Amino acid sequence: MNQLSSKLIIASAASLMALAAQAQSVQPGPYIGGSVGTTKFHGDNVSGFDTDTTDTGGKIYGGYQFTPNFSLEGGWIGLGKYSSSASELKLNNGIFLDAVGTFPVARDFSLLGRVGVYNGKADRTINGVNDSERGTDIKYGAGVQYDLSKNTAIRGEWERYRVKALDIKDNTDMFSVGVNYRF
């Protein structure tokens, strides 16, 4: 019985290692991508804006996959424009840099987690008076990725951007779908 248990344990361990090797098929190297989706501004601390206002957003990014589980990603993002009767807030384009963790769960399917920094510009108009400022703060998110081929993958992500400019200390969420290409 002892010998059978040892063989069963060795066979099980070998099978698990083979599955893990298949799940981690991504090789180190550069990649690029883009995504589009909806943004939702949570304007609790901004007078004249509804609490939850939505618009369209998108991003273009590039990164380097250092290991099957870790990459650095940076790019440009647009978070949208939000209006009310007497006010307008535009979260203009910004740049970001993220550390991205990739956690393979099946052969071509992975979970993503990210944390990083965002620098963006906010333009505000209240009763005809314009104001503009840049700000930097943290961002984070999570998502899923499915590898269509060795070089191409699709992503679905949720990201939260902390808006810190013009005395605004509120969050904007972006839900997006995109494609990335590995070289």
Q: Where are the domains of the chain?
A: 2-182
3-state secondary structure of 144: strand
Which pLDDT value is given to residue 19? 47
CA count, 13 A, side-chain hemisphere, 11: 6
Domain at 2-182: CATH architecture: Beta Barrel (2.40)
- Whether 36 and 178 have beta carbons less than 8 Å apart is answered as yes
pLDDT digit string (tens) for the chain, length 183 residues: 556 666 656 665 555 454 444 444 568 999 999 999 999 877 655 555 555 678 899 999 999 999 999 999 999 998 877 766 556 666 668 999 999 999 999 999 999 999 999 998 877 777 777 777 788 889 999 999 999 999 999 999 999 988 766 666 678 899 999 999 999
pLDDT digits (tens, 9 = 90+) for 17-67: 544 444 445 689 999 999 999 998 776 555 555 556 788 999 999 999 999
Which pLDDT value is given to residue 179? 98
**Residue ranges with strand state E in 68-151:** 70-78, 80-83, 87-106, 109-126, 129-147
Strands 70-78 and 152-165: what pairing?
unpaired
Quick one: how far is CA 42 from the chain centroid?
A: 18
Model confidence, pTM: 0.76
Question: 110 to each of 99, 103, 155, how far by Cα in Å?
Answer: 16, 5, 9
- Whether 94 and 74 have beta carbons less than 8 Å apart is answered as no
Question: 61 to each of 19, 70, 177, how far by Cα in Å?
Answer: 30, 16, 13
3-state secondary structure of 160: strand
CA distance 173 to 55: 10
Find all residues with CB under 8 Å of 6, minimum gap 6, and list them. none
Average pLDDT, the chain: 82
